[in-house]
Structure 1
Amino acid sequence: MKAYIFPGQGSQFVGMGKDLYEQHQVAKDLFEQANEILGFRITDIMFNGTEEELKQTKVTQPAIFLHSVIQAAVAQDFAPEMVAGHSLGEFSALVANKVLSFEDALRLVSKRALAMQAACEEQPSTMAAILGLEDEKVEQICAGIDDVVVAANYNCPGQLVISGSVPGVEAACEQMKAAGAKRALLLPVGGAFHSPLMKSAEAELEAAIRQTEFKQGICPIYQNVDAQAHTEPSEIQQNLIKQLTAPVRWTQSVQQMIADGATLFVECGPGKVLQGLVKKIDKSAEVAQVS
């Protein structure tokens, strides 16, 4: 079975999507539609902007979403039997399996980016990558810290991202190193994504998600919050609301997809990060870039 997977924030690069725009009329039309919906020419920043401009959350998230969804729209033999997305990538996956329309998903992604940015500005917070410790040990250390700090991204065995207040994450990093972590590295992010500190963003996004039509998908989506297959629109909607404050269970999602018959994981969007993670989760899994 063929599983299509969609990347999240951090996969952006200057020039992303330009080849799609120039080579496919369908892509050009979708990019121009996106410029209108967003109210600014995101294509100018994606194709010719600076890294700094592209790093702005209000640009980064829609840019990665657009690259992923438009790549899927022009791909040959695009016929997903299951889909999943890492964090932001879940919105791309929901367009790919026809649960959300392109327009509705782009509006939600834009709203999500702005709400997350506002939540980051409310309270200084951060994230850190923990390498070489078992998940249970990371969870145990986080639970013992007095400040807000939680496991946020289960990326692959031995690679977990924690998220929370600056003092909480810094204290946890010290304890992780003492417990034998190979690395405990603060990430250059503006906030504590996938933690309780995103509660205000979740509340804002919930209102928008509830007003959006979710349709029956053409195949199951394996969602971040529980790593299970979902096809029921109301369940998918509820899980998407929880996503901002809940951890991304990527390791568990990939394991479940393999258990359910996935043999080939096709990454759709900028970069090859997810292909690398899939191989670390299961060496025997086949991976490819969409073409």
Structure 2
Amino acid sequence: MTVAPSAKGTVPFGEYETWYRVTGDLRAAGPALVVVHGGPGSTHDYLQNLSDLAEGARSVVHYDQIGNGGSTHLPDRRADFWTVDLFAAELDNLLERLGIADNYVLFGQSWGGMLITRHAASRPAGLRGLVIANSPASYPLWLQEAKLLRDQLPPGVNETLLRHEAAGTTDTDEYYAAMRPFYERHVCRLSPWPRDYLASFYEVYNDPTVYYAMNGPSEFHVNGTLRDWSVIDHCPDINVPTLLISGRYDEATPATVQPFMDHIAGARWEIFEESSHLPHLEEPERFKEVMRTFLDEVDRS
């Protein structure tokens, strides 16, 4: 296996810049695997180990979506600036600027999976395959399931969360402490949390502009602009091989993933039995095996 050294830089996106990193050689014959992170408002850091999938003729592209990480930060922009259309246009721009719009596979994790579903529904000619990882098909479904998961938290935890949410004091230490049991059960079950995950976690903490505007104060209290957004109607328009990934203890519960399975023709679903929201970190070897099998199938097709 020969992998070219990583290259990184920025590409212009209108008056802004999108940071990216390439592992492998974009000039190779195989489709590039483009990694679209979650959030919205997170960074690529927690998905860094997907660079291990760069091998042979396959390269891997990570990028930070505008508003965080190495891309342009805009902390003074109001909520109406941060739209799905903005991030969809940024992804299109990245593909064109890197010269891979004619041959690529998309991996989208959490919010990123919803974003790539929207992208794929337009049937771009160069898209070869789709991996929708730990993503809900709609935020109303996500909130419905989050309530069920919250009701199962240790006694008193959800009551504390609800009290702060009602009072608008979700920026307090007590609220953050009460969030932890949910995150430990349904976001990352590893202890201690991996460094790559913490890197993205602290990036959001240091600049929560996008996360607060579009999502809200926590994974399970979505009161931002995405609270009513769904990609279910986009699913029937997808016409490329599609892999669904989720964890047995995932905050993206089976009920939130099922519409992808129901409406994307030929979709395949892999559930990771020892994982929650981050199977690539919680079960990395099985994750790589599943991904390599799927990517090899895409290459052959």
What TM-score, normalized by structure 1, do the two folds share? 0.37
TM-score normalized by the length of structure 2: 0.36
Q: Which has the higher helix share?
A: 1
Larger RCO: 1 or 2 (CA < 8 Å, sep 6+) = 1
